[in-house]
Amino acid sequence: MKIVQVKDYKEMSQKAAEVIIHKVKQENRINLGLATGGTPKGLYEAMIEDHRKNGTSYQHVTTFNLDEYIGLKEQDPNSYHYYMAESLFNHIDIPKFQTYLPNGLADDNNHECEQYDRLIQALGGIDLQVLGIGQNGHIGFNEPGTSFQSSTHIVTLEESTRKANARYFNTLDDVPTHAITMGISSIMNSKEILLLISGEEKADAMQKLLHGEISEDFPASVLKRHSHVTIIADQKALSGV
Ligand code: GLP
């Protein structure tokens, strides 16, 4: 794993945007894996700013998001469909039909999971996957204990994850209990991974990732087995290392 140390959230976002914009400009076709949460917001803002200023085009880009809550409508401001539309897709020139997220309202969730993995493979796999990390080491919504062999699946969210994400909802009760997430093996199939880590509340996770063992109890540790991972981490995230 290559570690790029940066000063703060702003610099992390800027650096991540540079990596993505460079790839997008270089390739004739590219599949990006995208994440939600607070961490990639600044990255998406930097991509939008670059699109406005420099005209970087996303017409040849296809995106696959990591996860979606079960039971929220696309128009629900807390759904990841809504987050992605508002935070990125509505502000760049990517065609909507080239942006994929798991459907959290499918009639048959297991079928939806299988279809999502099949679709990613059929369209050529993910070239570059952006990841954040949960305080407990989760990636996507793969909570501690998830099999490293897992493909896209349904998860019961840990209480700690629901609490951490409750800041976006009116009350903790409004936070869904289940989600659909790309599995660990789906994530590991990406050709390249860009992990963004910022802030004091991630310092423990950063420390465990760098110094802990590879274990399903700490999902992000699997990334040590991937041959092309870049971590961009800020000073606060690195404060415990
Ligand atoms: C959420 C998302 C993850 C994200 C993580 C960290 O639950 N499902 O994809 O990486 O938690 O979120 P944040 O960036 O807001 O700290």
* Residue 181: per-residue pLDDT: 98
pLDDT single digits (tens) 170-188: 999 999 999 999 999 999 9
Say which of 31, 65, 136, 142 is annotated catalytic: 136
Give pLDDT, residue 187.
Answer: 97
Q: Is 67 assigned a catalytic role?
A: yes
What ipTM did this prediction achieve?
0.95
- pLDDT score, position 136: 93
Looking at the chain, the whole-number percentage of residues with pLDDT higher than 70 is 100
Does any ligand 1 atom lie closer than 6 A to the CB of residue 137? no
Instruction: Please compute the mean of the pLDDT values over residues 139-149 and round it to a whole number.
Output: 96
* pLDDT at residue 159, rounded to an integer: 93
Which of 133, 135, 156 most suits a substitution to test ligand 1, by most atoms within 8 Å of the C-beta? 133
| pLDDT recorded at residue 123 | 97
* Nearby residues of 232 by Cβ (< 8 Å), 6 or more positions away: 4, 6, 12, 15, 16, 194, 195, 196, 197
Question: Burial, 178: exposed, middle or buried (Cβ in 10 Å; 0-12, 13-18, 19+)?
Answer: middle
In the chain, what are the domains? 2-200 (3.40.50.1360)
Output the average pLDDT for the chain: 97
Q: Taking residues 60-64, report their average pLDDT.
A: 98
* pLDDT at 212 (0 to 100): 97
Burial of 192 (0-12, 13-18, 19+ CB in 10 A): middle
- Asked if residue 134 has its Cβ within 6 Å of ligand 1, the reply is yes
pLDDT at position 71 is 96
* pLDDT (mean) for 73-99: 97
pLDDT score of 70: 97
Residue 28: the pLDDT is 96
